[in-house]
A and B are shown apart, each in its own frame.
Chain A
Amino acid sequence: MKYVDEYREQTKAAALSEKIREITPLDSHYKIMEICGGHTHTIYKYGIESYLPDNIHLVHGPGCPVCVIPLGRVDDAIAISLQDVIFTCFGDMIRVPGNKRSLGDAKAQGADVRIVYSPLDALHIAEQNPSRQVVFLAIGFETTAPATAIALKRAKAMRISNFSVFCNHVTIIPPLVAILDSENVEIDAFIGPGHVAAVTGSRIFAQITETYATPVVVSGFEPLDVLQSVYMLVKQFHEGVRKVENQYSRVVSYGGNPVALRVMEETMEVRPYFEWRGLGTISNSGLKINSEYADFDAENRFSIPGTEVKEPRACQCGQVLQGKIKPYECKVFGKACTPEKPIGTCMVSAEGACAAYYNYGRFMEINAKLVKSTK
């Protein structure tokens, strides 16, 4: 297992950790936000924080697609699922709580809700059931939106008229801008989402460094990738520069995936505003199906309540998603809110900060000891 050694060797991690400590300026605290839930998972699973000096703080961002879906949109999805349709969604959406219930509850009450792995699975179900309406609940950032775009294009080409998409795709830059603009949040740097950037290219983060002078390093998902990204950011602090760097050039290019960008452009358009769980309404942050594909837009085909629903008072996901508090600082964490019975979305998906911390937080001490023993 040469590759494992290459990527995960403890001594390499310890060496990187040493280098980070050497150049981290001591005079202040640095808050580094990892945007993507995949990184959150890696950070907790491998106890990355235990490799960092005390004045570097990793906080979790809004990049877990399941976590940012607002209650109202879950209720809308449930409302569609109850209109005599086959309602399809990714597995992690089933347990996401809406105002009163989840899609899983709707299913238990008789709605035909089915888990699919791919939007093309949903399209296939539509082909097989020509007399029924089949709706796909589309969620995700730029990583997943091109897959939905291709399903739409195929539906149109194949004239599968009983297929439609309830589109909840979102884009990565607007929530970052919203976080940087909000009061009481000071983020010193971002670890950029590797697979979003595989589609968009690392170039889209330039507006963050240019407008806010906040460095971004696009990162891979290996523990050593994340550590190296932190090193690259600290080096920028040390040298007093602020730029976009790409640690994940194995997969991410400057310009992104041109086909993916093109199919999104051809099928979707930017919504003037979209609501995010915990972050409120953010302008130009959501994608909707464009007029050329309007026939496949579930929002045109079904009645949708579209009511805004207040978040439960106990839920502090909004603060977790903005890096204001750590998961364990939420009052209901691990008590009323667990992966089995989640109150907030951050506890539902494996990539949610609260679920990741709940599942792996206990490993952190063990990892910390490992690091010390390799020194």
Chain B
Amino acid sequence: MYDRAMCLGIPGQITDVLDEHYAIVDVGGAKRKINTDLAGNGTLKSGEWLLIHVGFALAVIDEAEAKATLALLEEMEDVYTQELQALAESQVHQASDAEDTP
């Protein structure tokens, strides 16, 4: 069982844009599928950094911001490992594709 810090986003770097709803991101070395409906307006590119919250990209962020947030999370040890673990167990990456939403 784990607790999560709800307000903290976790940064991930896009390795693959799958379609207009999903992208694969590298989060702390692990590859995850996340939903991108809320960020980037369909213009996301590999290499860009996203702020991820409950399986969704909430905002596009720059690399400096991403690295600083990662450093902060790493210092919070438990919170970070729990968040990573939760993301690893997430089934978003298996979710089948839907018709166009939103």
Contacts and interface: CB of A to CB of B under 8 A. Distances in A.
Contacts of A115: 1-2, 86
Contact of A222 (B7, B72, B87): B72
Of the listed residues B53, B71, B102, the one surrounded by the most CB atoms of chain A closer than 10 A to its CB is B102
A198 interface: yes
Given A94-B1, A144-B54, A351 B6 contact: yes
A116 B82 CA distance: 13
Contacts of A7: 68, 71-72
A349 B78 CA distance: 13
B58 A121 contact: no
A144 B38 CA distance: 11
Contacts of A63: 7
A4 interface: yes
A335 B55 CA distance: 36
A308 to B, nearest CB: 25
A150 B5 contact: no
Nearest to B70: A3
A333 to B, nearest CB: 18
A84 B41 CA distance: 40
Of the listed residues B1, B8, B35, the one surrounded by the most CB atoms of chain A closer than 10 A to its CB is B8
Interface in B61-93: 61-62, 64-65, 67-69, 71-72, 75-76, 78-79, 82, 86-87, 89-92
9 contacts: A41-B79, A64-B6, A92-B4, A153-B101, A153-B102, A158-B98, A348-B3, A350-B79, A351-B5
Given A36-B7, A195-B51, A198-B59, 18 more contacts: A3-B68, A6-B64, A38-B5, A65-B6, A104-B1, A117-B86, A124-B94, A146-B56, A147-B53, A147-B54, A147-B56, A154-B98, A157-B100, A195-B7, A196-B7, A221-B72, A263-B37, A350-B5
Query: 9 smallest A-B Cβ distances: which pairs?
Result: A118-B55, A38-B7, A117-B90, A3-B67, A117-B86, A153-B101, A4-B71, A124-B91, A121-B91
